[in-house]
């Protein structure tokens, strides 16, 4: 028995919806609680499988985690087991975010090598090079990464690429280091700013997140705090894409539009009408979308996590769109599935050329990863007839009951159990 989503296209999305807390902000902040000596109360935590897995990771290390709906209470522990079990690392690559805080506070970690995933090989070299520069002795053998230090030292680190995870790990490692760490060419994503704010709330001294260089002045000890996670910009962009693609008109409340202006600009270029309010946004899709070109880039460029959803829109836009994926080497798995719905897409390496067709028609498709799954749901809502989407476990990692959100907006969509 497995869960499937059945979407019937043809309805324009209407109404209003609130977005949940950001998965990619919650995961590093949960890892960062390893550094805290007081209790941490996290609010606005999304109810997602990835959050459950990250909670289990820090539980396995020895912290107490209690979940009350969208609030997580994390109780510190004086002694830890600084190792992550392989099955948890396999379930969630972002489990590697415990490396920085474990090394910073306990001077040791041993974690299974995370390995590749559906969208790319995803090496750890930038994380490890940065930790080594701060004084960690790292050994990689038999599929494990082990690191120890007599105490990390602040230094200047130049990231070869503004990796989100490496920036987060190095920030967390540096907060208790001796002296000042300057992280150059750091990732600038809003989730990095959220991590900085959380860490400063528990007593860290960090500035510059959201800009190219992050400055971390080492402190002696960190406390606890209450903290609310920022809204999920990728979830907001996914709802907006569905509205734009179905010629709908929706209002998204409790989101921060300044976090996804590059996405809004692209939707506007495709013909959408956009009104931005202080904590919300209204989007109206056109009769027929216009083709656009786009290249994914580190923030504030167009996010790779919205690339599949954008491609779903391009499939029915008037004209030819060119989409370049520059962040991950293997993030076009949704192409074959979109073709099953009638899309005309050619791929050459990391470039996709999408010739817009008049309409898609429903079929059976399978999600290969989280955002590919979101793109297939959007395509299903745009297509004529019924689309059956399998591989829903991927979608559930990053969207809280996606079908419920779309039902709220008037879509004909259901989750069913298939034998
Ligand atoms: C985070 C997000 C993910 C998003 C990605 C890019 C979380 C939990 N996940 O993933 O949703 O798609 O940012 O915006 O926040 N790289 C290296 N060496 C390294 C580290 C990264 O070569 O040491 C490469 C990766 O293989 C990839 C690129 O850098 O090609 C970007 O990866 P990175 O920014 O690190 O992504 P994640 O933090 O894993």
Provide the terminal-to-terminal Cα distance of the chain, rounded to the nearest Å. 4
pLDDT tens track, the chain, 419 positions: 889 999 999 999 999 999 999 999 999 999 999 999 999 999 999 999 999 999 999 999 999 999 999 999 999 988 889 888 888 888 899 999 999 999 999 999 999 987 656 766 678 999 999 999 999 999 988 889 999 999 999 999 999 999 999 999 999 999 999 999 999 999 999 999 999 999 999 999 999 999 999 999 999 999 999 999 999 999 999 999 999 999 999 999 989 999 999 999 999 999 999 999 877 899 999 999 999 999 999 999 999 999 999 999 999 999 999 999 999 988 999 999 999 999 999 999 999 999 999 999 999 999 999 999 999 999 999 999 999 999 999 999 999 999 999 999 999 999 998 87
pLDDT reported for residue 79: 82
> Is the CB–ligand 1 distance for residue 27 below 6 Å?
yes
- pLDDT attached to residue 234: 98
Rg of the chain over CA atoms, in angstroms? Answer: 21
Burial of 24 per CB tally in 10 Å (0-12, 13-18, 19+) = buried
Catalytic-labelled residue, pool 40, 117, 255, 294: 117
Q: What is the pLDDT of residue 115?
A: 60
How confident is the model at residue 117, as a pLDDT?
A: 63
Alpha carbon of 322 to ligand 1 centroid (Å) = 23
CB-count burial class (<10 Å; 0-12, 13-18, 19+) for 156: exposed
Pick from 327, 330, 371, 372 the residue to mutate for probing ligand 1's pocket: most ligand atoms within 8 Å of its CB.
Answer: 327
CA–centroid distance, 415 to ligand 1, in Å, is 31
> Cα dist. 170→53, 59, 141 in Å?
22, 22, 22
Are 9 and 387 a contacting pair, CB within 8 Å? Answer: yes
Give yes or no for residue 158 CB within 6 A of ligand 1.
no
Label residue 242 exposed, middle or buried (CB < 10 Å: 0-12, 13-18, 19+): buried
Return the pLDDT at 205.
98
DSSP string, 285-347: --SSPBP-EEEB-STTSB-GGGHHHHHHHHTTSBSEEEEE--S-TT--THHHHHHHTT-EEEE
Q: Burial of 410 by CB count in 10 Å (0-12 exposed, 13-18 middle, 19+ buried)? A: middle
Between the CA of 136 and the centroid of ligand 1 the distance, in Å, is 22
Contacts of 77 (CB under 8 A, 6+ apart): 61, 62, 63, 64
Task: Please report the pLDDT score of residue 266 as a whole number.
Answer: 98
pLDDT of residue 1: 82
Q: Which atom of ligand 1 is nearest to the CA of 328?
A: 30
Does ligand 1 have an atom closer than 6 angstroms to the CB of 385? no
- 225 to each of 4, 69, 197, 416, how far by Cα in Å? 40, 18, 11, 41
Backbone angles phi, psi at 121, to 5 degrees: -80, -25
Ligand 1 pocket, 309 CB below 6 A?
no
Does the active-site annotation cover 117?
Answer: yes
Mutate to test the pocket of ligand 1, among 164, 169, 235, 299 (most ligand atoms within 8 A of CB): 164
**What per-residue confidence (pLDDT) applies to 78?**
80
- Count of CB atoms within 10 A of residue 15's CB? 12
Q: Name which residue sits closest to atom 32 of ligand 1, judged by CA.
A: 163
Name residue, tokens 């991927």: 394
pTM: 0.97
Question: What pLDDT score was predicted for residue 74?
Answer: 98
Q: Please name the helix (run of DSSP H) or strand (run of DSSP E) that holds residue 125, with its range, or none.
A: helix 125-133
Nearest-CA residue for ligand 1 atom 11 is 305
Q: Is the dihedral of CA 210, 131, 370, 355 positive or negative?
A: positive
Exposed/middle/buried for residue 349 (C-beta within 10 Å: 0-12, 13-18, 19+): exposed
Q: Rounded to 5 degrees, what are φ and ψ at 124? A: -115, 10
Quote the CA–CA distance of 136 and 103 in Å, as a whole number: 8
How many residues appear in the chain? 419
Q: How far is the CA of 7 from the centre of ligand 1 (A)?
A: 31
| Cα 49–chain centre separation | 13
Give the span between the Cα atoms of 55 and 166, in whole angstroms: 20
Q: How many whole angstroms from 327 Cα to the centroid of ligand 1?
A: 8
């Amino acid at each position: 028995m497995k869960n499937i989503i059945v979407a019937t296209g043809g309805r324009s999305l209407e109404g209003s919806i609130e977005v949940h807390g950001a998965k990619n902000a919650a995961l590093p902040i949960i890892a960062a609680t390893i550094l805290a000596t007081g209790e941490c109360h996290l609010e606005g935590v999304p109810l997602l499988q990835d959050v459950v897995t990250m909670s289990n990771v820090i539980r396995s290390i020895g912290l107490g985690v209690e979940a009350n709906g969208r609030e997580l209470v994390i109780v510190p522990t004086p002694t830890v087991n600084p190792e992550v079990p392989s099955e948890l690392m396999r379930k969630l690559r972002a489990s590697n975010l415990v490396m920085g805080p474990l090394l910073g506070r306990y001077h040791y970690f041993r974690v299974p090598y995370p390995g590749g995933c559906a969208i790319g090989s995803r090496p750890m070299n930038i994380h490890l090079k940065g930790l080594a520069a701060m004084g960690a002795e790292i050994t990689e053998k038999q599929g494990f990464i082990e690191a120890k230090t007599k105490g990390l030292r602040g230094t200047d680190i130049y990231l070869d690429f503004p990796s989100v995870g490496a920036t987060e790990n190095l920030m967390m490692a540096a907060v208790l280091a001796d002296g000042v760490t300057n992280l150059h060419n750091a990732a600038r994503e809003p989730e990095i700013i959220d991590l900085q704010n959380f860490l400063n709330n528990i007593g860290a001294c960090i500035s510059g997140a959201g800009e190219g260089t992050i400055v971390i002045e080492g402190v002696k000890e960190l406390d606890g705090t209450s903290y609310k996670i920022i809204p999920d910009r990728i979830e907001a962009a996914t709802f907006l894409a569905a509205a734009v693609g179905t010629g709908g008109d929706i209002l998204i409340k409790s989101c921060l539009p300044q976090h996804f202006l590059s996405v809004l600009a692209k939707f506007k270029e495709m013909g959408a009408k956009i009104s931005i309010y202080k904590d919300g946004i209204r989007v109206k899709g056109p009769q027929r979308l216009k083709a656009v070109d786009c290249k994914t880039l580190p923030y504030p460029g167009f996010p790779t996590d919205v690339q599949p959803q954008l491609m779903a829109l391009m499939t029915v836009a008037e004209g030819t769109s060119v989409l370049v994926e520059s962040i991950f080497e293997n993030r076009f798995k949704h192409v074959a599935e979109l073709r099953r719905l009638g899309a005309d897409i050619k791929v050459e390496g990391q470039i996709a050329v999408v010739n817009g067709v008049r309409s898609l028609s429903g079929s059976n498709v399978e999600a290969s990863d989280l955002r590919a799954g979101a793109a297939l749901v959007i395509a299903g809502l745009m297509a004529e007839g019924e689309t059956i989407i399998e591989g829903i476990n991927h979608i559930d990692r990053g969207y809280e009951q996606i079908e419920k959100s779309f039902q709220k907006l008037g879509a004909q969509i259901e989750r069913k159990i298939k034998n």
